């Protein structure tokens, strides 16, 4: 009975069990051979390498790294995929969130007194060099005819300040006094009058009166003797300078020239001029400023060097005195929205071209391949097993299952051909 039972066991039960165990063990060994041994083995006492060492993955780690990198960059994470994903993220709302975080981070840093003082010191030390570089670049640009900032700034100052400036009556009186004291002095008026009353001009005046007057006016001119009066007035101015000064001063006072000049200055408004004249005056102002910068280049650079300490002190005081809480909420919100709108408009227009240049520069293929190639055999095994843990487990079970079916086939053969 025992012999019959043993015969039945070895004939019908043992083959499926043995084949299943064999298939499971063989599959486990195959999986083990993928990762191990980690290093090259050699026959004892020789330098002859043992075949199939190290494991497949450690031995071909470089090829595996390149294959994985190629698969990821060619199929899983292509340039088009990155561009499409980036374009979905680039919305005005997302950019506003980024700008809001950026602004808040900067304002938070300004609340740190230590950092604020350090920033103020660094920028103050840098300000003289920046100022000198700015002045040099502006003057060089003017010399080359490529600089437009001076013209733009001058035009804005002209439009917003000079054009709308009105002189008060007190200021006009001061200007009128200065003009009469320095420019329209009795001596200058005397010399100008003498120059105007030259023999040629006197003859021209007489001929003009004779040609353009008629009737009683011509008779009156002959009675008075315009030419004779002009010569006598000229002689008086030349031979009696002191008396001429007194007469001119008296006439200026009696005619109220000072007050009339002040009134005209106070009432003068550039905006009342014709547009053509305003445009020409603005262009002349720009040319005067540019010419001044070019003609006094050395003086300006020397002045910039002399105000280095003042510039550093001014920049440092301005930064230290800055209080984020003093910024109006409406202005800050508007600044954030405007910055976000500008950034969105730029990215919406240029994002595709920027990504086409940036993605190849990132070197995704090289980065992924180098990263995998730097893995140790243990790390590589852990990575693959973590990804394919269930798959490797079921692969071993499948090996046992196939072995079991082969055992059943063996049983069928034994039954059919005892």
Please report whether residue 180 resides in a domain.
yes
Tell me: do 261 and 183 sit in the same domain. yes
Give the model's pLDDT for residue 12. Answer: 63
Whether a cis peptide bond, with omega within 30° of 0, leads into 219 is no
User: Rounded distance, CA 28 to CA 49, Å?
Assistant: 23
Tell me: do 17 and 135 sit in the same domain. no
User: Rounded distance, CA 314 to CA 121, Å?
Assistant: 11
Tell me: do 199 and 260 sit in the same domain. yes
Tell me: do 260 and 225 sit in the same domain. yes
Please report whether residue 100 resides in a domain.
no
Give the model's pLDDT for residue 188. Answer: 87
Tell me: do 313 and 232 sit in the same domain. no
Give the model's pLDDT for residue 321. Answer: 66
Please report whether residue 85 resides in a domain.
no
Tokens 């001596």, located at residue = 187
Which of 219, 236, 268 terminates a domain? The answer is 268
Strand partners, 49: 42
User: Rounded distance, CA 232 to CA 347, Å?
Assistant: 83
Please report whether residue 253 resides in a domain.
yes
- Extended strands (E) in 273-386: none
pLDDT tens over the chain, length 418 residues? 555 555 565 566 777 777 778 778 887 787 777 777 777 777 787 888 777 777 767 777 777 777 777 777 777 667 777 777 777 877 888 888 888 888 888 777 766 667 667 766 776 777 777 777 777 888 888 888 877 888 888 888 888 877 777 788 888 888 888 888 888 888 888 888 888 888 888 788 777 777 776 667 666 666 667 777 788 888 888 888 888 888 888 888 888 888 888 888 888 777 777 888 888 888 888 888 888 888 888 888 788 777 767 767 776 776 666 666 677 788 888 888 888 888 888 877 777 777 777 766 767 777 777 877 777 777 777 777 777 777 777 777 887 788 778 777 777 777 676 6
Give the model's pLDDT for residue 4. Answer: 55
Tell me: do 161 and 171 sit in the same domain. no
Tell me: do 158 and 299 sit in the same domain. yes
What pTM, to 2 d.p., does this model score?
A: 0.42
Q: Which domain holds residue 262?
A: 167-268
Tell me: do 400 and 319 sit in the same domain. no
Please report whether residue 95 resides in a domain.
no
Domain count, the chain: 3
């Amino acid at each position: 009975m025992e012999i019959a039972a043993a015969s039945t066991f070895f004939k019908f039960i043992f083959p499926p069990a043995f084949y299943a165990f064999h298939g499971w063990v063989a599959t486990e060994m195959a999986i083990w051979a993928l990762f191990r041994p980690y290093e090259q083995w050699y026959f004892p006492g020789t330098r002859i390498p043992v075949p199939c060492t190290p494991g497949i993955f450690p031995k071909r780690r470089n090829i595996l790294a390149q294959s994985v990198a190629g698969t990821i960059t060619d199929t899983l994470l292509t340039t088009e995929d990155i561009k499409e994903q980036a374009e979905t993220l680039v919305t005005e709302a997302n950019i506003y969130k980024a700008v809001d975080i950026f602004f808040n981070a900067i304002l938070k840093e300004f609340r740190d007194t230590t950092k604020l003082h350090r920033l103020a010191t660094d920028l103050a030390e840098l300000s003289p060099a920046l100022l000198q570089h700015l002045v040099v670049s502006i003057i060089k640009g003017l010399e080359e005819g490529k600089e437009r900032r001076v013209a733009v700034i001058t035009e804005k100052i002209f439009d917003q300040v000079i054009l709308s400036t009105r002189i008060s009556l007190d200021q006009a009186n001061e200007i009128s006094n200065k003009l009469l004291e320095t420019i329209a002095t009795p001596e200058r008026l005397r010399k100008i009058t003498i120059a105007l009353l030259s023999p040629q001009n006197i003859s021209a005046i007489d001929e003009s009166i004779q040609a353009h007057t008629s009737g009683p006016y011509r008779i009156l001119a002959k009675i008075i003797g315009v030419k004779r009066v002009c010569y006598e007035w000229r002689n008086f101015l030349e031979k009696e300078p002191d008396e001429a000064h007194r007469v001119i001063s008296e006439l200026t006072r009696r005619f109220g020239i000072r007050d009339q000049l002040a009134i005209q200055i106070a009432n003068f408004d550039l905006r009342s001029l014709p547009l053509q004249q305003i445009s020409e005056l603005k262009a002349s102002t720009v040319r005067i400023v540019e010419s001044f910068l070019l003609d006094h280049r050395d003086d300006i650079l020397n002045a910039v060097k002399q105000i280095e300490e003042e510039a550093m002190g001014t920049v440092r005081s301005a930064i230290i005195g800055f209080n984020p809480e003093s910024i109006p909420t409406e202005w800050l919100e508007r600044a954030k929205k405007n910055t976000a709108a500008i950034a969105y408009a730029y990215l919406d227009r240029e994002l595709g071209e920027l990504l086409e240049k940036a993605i190849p520069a990132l070197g995704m293929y090289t980065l992924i391949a180098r990263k995998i190639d730097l893995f140790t055999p243990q790390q590589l095994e852990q990575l693959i097993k973590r990804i394919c843990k269930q798959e490797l487990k079921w692969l071993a079970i499948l090996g046992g299952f196939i072995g079991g079916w082969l055992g059943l086939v063996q049983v069928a053969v034994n039954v059919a051909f005892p």
